[in-house]
Amino acid sequence: MDSQTVVELEGVGKVYEGAIPTRALQDVNLSVQAGEFVAILGPSGSGKSTLLHLLGALDRPTEGKVRIASQDVSTLDDDGLARLRGKHLGFVFQFHHLMPDFTALENVLMPMFAVGGPPCKKQVDEAMSVLKRVGLEGKERNRVTNLSGGQQQRVAIARALMGGKTIVLADEPTGNLDSANGKQVFRLMREFNERDGITFMIVTHDLALAMYADRIIHVIDGKIANDHPNDPTPLDA
């Protein structure tokens, strides 16, 4: 794993145990470089969300090796995995999982409350800055229930970027939005990728939005069926 490789999967498989074991992934090999913007496509049940969970150290493989920021996740206990995620990884989901009784600012700061108590001034300033960058200046003190769906997803993106995260994983981040808001959210993530060098790996069912990526991976039946570079659609298109 060289210094520019931020995530690497080697011979990875995943089986969910049960009365009838279900194989979600089989013999997956994948390397993602720092600063890439990767779209992961595939039909429902193809294994793409399972792949994203392994990429984010939210689950462990049944076979093979997963390395994140040069760390073999198999060597880490649950606390070690939590520290790895806290240091390197941000997450954005289709249903943003915001706290409805809190403001946009408080939601962005929620990870700080979870790990270290009340945030310090530096962290509050960072949250205010990130909210400004996602287009929510002036709405920091609004309860998230008073924001539109697109604005709520922007709060979720800001939360994912807190603490200087270098990798952001997004699972159908536009799946609950209309096409116009979905396009704006994808543009926003692309802007953070280009300006800050943050690595993005995004599961999406929308091929048109995937065309914003500079690499597209197709997952079918638990395997990577296609992995190819893409000439991304311009942000102003």
Say what the pLDDT of residue 97 is. Answer: 77
19-36 pLDDT, tens per residue?
888 899 999 999 999 999
Strand order in the sheet with 22-33: 22-33, 5-16, 63-68, 71-72
Q: Exposed, middle or buried: residue 226 (CB in 10 Å: 0-12, 13-18, 19+)? A: exposed
- Answer yes or no: is 120 within a domain: yes
Q: Mean pLDDT of all residues in the chain?
A: 87
Backbone phi, then psi, for 68, in 5-degree steps?
A: -125, 125
Backbone phi, then psi, for 211, in 5-degree steps?
A: -70, -10
Three-class secondary structure of residue 42 per DSSP: coil
The stretch 43-47 carries a mean pLDDT of 86
174-232 pLDDT, tens per residue?
777 778 878 888 888 888 899 999 999 999 888 888 888 999 999 999 999 999 998 87
51-68 pLDDT, tens per residue?
988 999 988 899 999 999
- Answer yes or no: is 42 within a domain: yes
- Answer yes or no: is 68 within a domain: no
Three-class secondary structure of residue 54 per DSSP: helix
Each residue of 204-221: b (16+ CB within 10 Å) or e?
bebeebbebbbbbbbbee
Say what the pLDDT of residue 180 is. Answer: 81
Q: And the tokens for 196?
A: 């800050």
- Answer yes or no: is 16 within a domain: no
What CATH number did the domain enclosing 138 receive?
3.40.50.300
Q: How many structural domains is the chain composed of? A: 1
Say what the pLDDT of residue 129 is. Answer: 92
Which residues touch 70 (CB under 8 Å, ≥6 apart)? Answer: 1, 5
Q: Write the CA distances from 66 to 27, 29, 219, integer angstroms.
A: 12, 10, 17
**pLDDT greater than 90 at residue 43:** no
Q: Which domain holds residue 179?
A: 35-60+88-229
**pLDDT greater than 70 at residue 153:** yes
Say what the pLDDT of residue 64 is. Answer: 94
- Answer yes or no: is 14 within a domain: no
Beta strands in 70-161 (DSSP E): 71-72, 89-93
Q: And the tokens for 37?
A: 């913007």
- Answer yes or no: is 235 within a domain: no
70-124 pLDDT, tens per residue?
889 888 898 888 888 888 899 888 666 788 888 999 989 887 765 666 777 888 9
The stretch 141-151 carries a mean pLDDT of 89
